[in-house]
Amino acid sequence: MKKKVLILGSTGSIGRATLEVIENQRDTFEASGIVCRDNIGLLNKQIELFKPQYVCVFNKKQEKDVSFDKKRLFTGIEGILRMINTDVDIVVNALPGSAGLIPTIETLKAGKILALANKESLVMAGRIVSRLVSESSSRLIPVDSEHSALYQLLKDINPKDLKTITITASGGPFRKHKKKALELVSPEEAMNHPTWKMGKKVTLDSATLMNKGFEVIEARWLFDIGQDRIKVLIHPESIIHGMVEFIDGSFTAYMAVPDMKIPISYAINEGNIRKLPFESLCLHELKRLTFYPPDLVRFPSLRLAYEALDAGDSALVVLNSTSEVASQAFVEGKIRFTDIPILIEEVLDKHDIIPIIDDLEVVWEVHSWAKENGEKIIKDKR
Ligand SMILES: NC(=O)c1ccc[n+]([C@@H]2O[C@H](COP(=O)([O-])OP(=O)(O)OC[C@H]3O[C@@H](n4cnc5c(N)ncnc54)[C@H](OP(=O)(O)O)[C@@H]3O)[C@@H](O)[C@H]2O)c1
């Protein structure tokens, strides 16, 4: 029997890569459900190619243009939740931002395998998600390349032997920019990532290093490890994705070409390596691998993420939610690139910390509070 895969965000960067992996592993998988928000042109092509059992379009207004049997076509978040509760085996959550949180929770409650690309679920509600994973029969396997690397490196090691883990970062398109030059960068320049082709929000987060901050938080919850033992290293070649340091001073590192199909395949194969027909690493062609520490003065977003982890659960929600507001404002030309972390810090400073959140309602209350406050600051400054 083929495994049934539901892809939330099938028209996005991770969603398209997932379909490519499925296309190459047709003996094992079928894309039984696909979901998008607006891109009906591509959705219709995917329907024709993959013949899913169910389809969902988030934006209800687009429903009429979808070429699919209306009885198996759903809309909105209710539609996504219905699809999770069909007979699917694996859910790939490749939705961006806070939109991914409810589907993550529902997938875990339904006892399905969760291949999680939506790191924001863990940033906003890591404690709740971790509890659900430990209490339910489901499994969470990370899709983020760094976390997939660490997941594999940490398998079967004795926790007593572990000293630190390291997440690498390409450094983004502005890694060589002086602080002053960063004030002038445009949204178009920020969208030009040197090594990865990704969706807009994650590409912008890579340019500010907020993405790395989110990944530190993601690692804290996934691997139950204190933030003081999670390191970040800039590694422009994006070949080593994660490293583990042991108490005797030795390291192990995970290397691969920067291609999301590798961690996607690992995740949907439930933590198993499968042969892939894509480009692989040619070690003798690598001229060098370089590493240096991140500059938290030019890229304060990463510092804010560590500080939010120290502060408590609600600070993590504020970090994510204000980041969504600030990123949107930058893309719309309302604030400068360097204003993004300033705005996030301003909202964090106004916030009364709730150290532990184990209720989803509270997450949404803090989320709304942070969005409102972020938007108000932007409006007042204009
Ligand atoms: N791209 C990468 O290489 C990468 C690597 C690691 C982790 N991630 C994480 O994976 C997630 C997705 O990233 P991405 O780069 O694939 O994003 P993306 O290219 O922007 O794709 C987002 C997908 O989600 C759909 N979508 C957006 N909002 C939705 C909503 N409210 N309801 C239903 N569908 C919605 C989009 O539909 P439309 O096309 O119709 O708008 C699209 O299919 C993010 O959390 C990101 O941080 C990405």
Q: What is the mean predicted confidence (pLDDT) over 165-191? A: 95
- The count of domains in the chain is 3
50 band by pLDDT with thresholds 50, 70 and 90: very high
153: amino acid identity, one letter: L
Residue 239: per-residue pLDDT: 96
263 lines ligand 1 (CB under 6 A): no
17 lines ligand 1 (CB under 6 A): no
Residue 278: per-residue pLDDT: 79
Gap from CA of 245 to ligand 1 centroid (Å)? 32
**Domain identity same for 86 and 149:** no
Atom 45 in ligand 1: residue holding the nearest Cα: 118
**Domain identity same for 149 and 289:** yes
Gap from CA of 240 to ligand 1 centroid (Å)? 24
Q: Which residues of 349-371 are buried (b: 16+ CB within 10 A; e: fewer)?
A: eebeebeebeeeebbbebbebbb
Q: Which residues of 291-327 are buried (b: 16+ CB within 10 A; e: fewer)?
A: eeebeeeebbbbbbbbbbbebebbbbbbbbbbbbbbb
Residue 330: per-residue pLDDT: 96
Q: In a mutational test of the pocket of ligand 1, which residue from 147, 198, 261 has the highest number of ligand atoms less than 8 Å from its CB?
A: 198
- pLDDT digit string, tens, across residues 93-118: 999 999 999 999 999 999 999 999 99
208 lines ligand 1 (CB under 6 A): no
Residue 47: is its pLDDT beyond 80?
A: yes
Which atom of ligand 1 has the smallest separation from the CA of 100? 45
In a domain, 302, yes or no: no
In a domain, 301, yes or no: no
In a domain, 85, yes or no: yes
Residue 188: is its pLDDT beyond 90?
A: yes
**Domain identity same for 84 and 22:** yes
**Domain identity same for 91 and 125:** yes
Where is the domain boundary, 142, 177, 196? 142
Cα dist from 97 to 52, 84, 202, 312, 319, whole Å = 25, 19, 9, 20, 12
**Domain identity same for 158 and 169:** yes
194 band by pLDDT with thresholds 50, 70 and 90: confident
Where is the domain boundary, 107, 142, 177? 142
Q: What is the CATH number of the domain that holds 325?
A: 1.10.1740.10
**Domain identity same for 341 and 286:** no
**Domain identity same for 150 and 210:** yes
- pLDDT digit string, tens, across residues 220-251: 999 999 999 999 999 999 999 999 999 999 99
Gap from CA of 201 to ligand 1 centroid (Å)? 8
Residue 197: per-residue pLDDT: 80
**Domain identity same for 227 and 291:** yes
In a domain, 306, yes or no: no
In a domain, 350, yes or no: yes
Gap from CA of 197 to ligand 1 centroid (Å)? 12
- Alpha helices, DSSP H only, in the chain? 13-24, 40-50, 76-84, 101-109, 120-135, 145-154, 179-182, 187-190, 200-208, 210-222, 261-268, 300-311, 313-331, 339-350, 360-381
**Domain identity same for 58 and 186:** no
Gap from CA of 91 to ligand 1 centroid (Å)? 14
In a domain, 307, yes or no: no
Q: What is the CATH number of the domain that holds 68?
A: 3.40.50.720
In a domain, 26, yes or no: yes
39 lines ligand 1 (CB under 6 A): yes
- Residue numbers of the domain that contains 125: 3-142
In a domain, 100, yes or no: yes
**Domain identity same for 194 and 281:** yes
**Domain identity same for 186 and 175:** yes
Where is the domain boundary, 269, 296, 323? 296
99 lines ligand 1 (CB under 6 A): yes
Which atom of ligand 1 has the smallest separation from the CA of 12? 21
15 band by pLDDT with thresholds 50, 70 and 90: very high
**Domain identity same for 150 and 249:** yes
